[in-house]
Structure 1
Amino acid sequence: MSHFRLHEFVDPLVNDRDDEYGGSPANRARFPAEVTAAIDEATPDEFVIGVRTSQAAVTDEQRVWPDGEKTAAVLFDALSEAGASHVHVTGGDATAPEVPDADRTLAKLAIEHVDDDVAVIANGSLGNPENARTALVDGSDLITLGTGALANHDWPNRVRAGEPLDDLDPSIIFQPDASLSDAEVPGDD
Structure 2
Amino acid sequence: MSQLFQPLSLGELRLANRIVVAPMCQYSAVDGSPGDWHLIHLGQLALSGAGLLVLEATAVSADGRISPQDLGLYSDANEAALGRVLQALRAQSPIPLAIQLSHAGRKGSSRAPWEGGAQIAPDAPGGWKTVAPSAWPHAEGEDAPAALDREGLAQVRQDFAVAAQRAARLGLDGIEVHAAHGYLLHQFLSPLANRREDAYGGSLQNRMRFPLEVFDAVRAAFPANRPVWVRVSATDWVAGGWDVESTVQFAQALQARGCAAIHVSTGGVSPAQSIPLGPGYQVSFAQQVKAAVDLPVIAVGLITEPEQAEAIVANGQADAVALARAMLYDPRWPWHAAATLGARVFAPKQYWRSQPREHKHLFEGASFGQR
Interval containing the TM-score (normalised by the shorter chain):
0.5 to 0.7
Q: Is the 8 A contact 2:229 2:262 kept in 1?
A: yes
Shift of 1:65: 6.1
Instruction: Give the equivalent residue in structure 2 for 1:127.
Output: 304
Instruction: Give the equivalent residue in structure 2 for 1:167.
Output: none
Q: Is the 8 A contact 1:29 1:74 kept in 2?
A: no
Aligned length: 151
CA RMSD between the two structures = 2.6
Q: How does 1:152-167 map to 2 (within 5 A)?
A: 152-162=330-340
Instruction: Give the equivalent residue in structure 2 for 1:15.
Output: 194
Instruction: Give the equivalent residue in structure 2 for 1:183.
Output: none
Q: Is the 8 A contact 1:123 1:144 kept in 2?
A: yes
Instruction: Give the equivalent residue in structure 2 for 1:142.
Output: 320
Instruction: Give the equivalent residue in structure 2 for 1:33.
Output: 212
Match of 2:265 among 67, 80, 90: 90
Q: How does 1:70-81 map to 2 (within 5 A)?
A: 70-81=245-256
Say which SS state the counterpart of residue 160 (structure 1) adopts.
helix
Runs (4 or more) in structure 1 with deviation over 3 Å come to 62-67, 91-96
Q: Is the 8 A contact 2:261 2:297 kept in 1?
A: yes
- Give TM-score, length-normalised by structure 1: 0.68
Alignment CA distance shift 1:34-1:113 (3 Å): farther
Q: Is the 8 A contact 2:296 2:319 kept in 1?
A: yes
User: For residue 297 of structure 2, what is the amino acid of its counterpart?
Assistant: V
Q: Deviations over 1:18-60 (max 9, x none)?
A: 2222222222112111111222223321122121111467xxx
Shift of 1:155: 1.0
5+ residue gaps, structure 1:
99-103, 164-189
Q: Deviations over 1:156-189 (max 9, x none)?
A: 22223339xxxxxxxxxxxxxxxxxxxxxxxxxx
Which has a greater percent of strand?
2
CA distance in 2, matches of 1:94, 1:17: 37
Q: Is the 8 A contact 2:235 2:242 kept in 1?
A: no
User: For residue 264 of structure 2, what is the amino acid of its counterpart?
Assistant: V
Say which SS state the counterpart of residue 156 (structure 1) adopts.
helix
Say which SS state the counterpart of residue 262 (structure 2) adopts.
strand
CA distance in 2, matches of 1:23, 1:105: 28
Q: Is the 8 A contact 1:53 1:88 kept in 2?
A: yes
User: For residue 128 of structure 1, what is the amino acid of its counterpart?
Assistant: E
Instruction: Give the equivalent residue in structure 1 for 2:243.
Output: 68
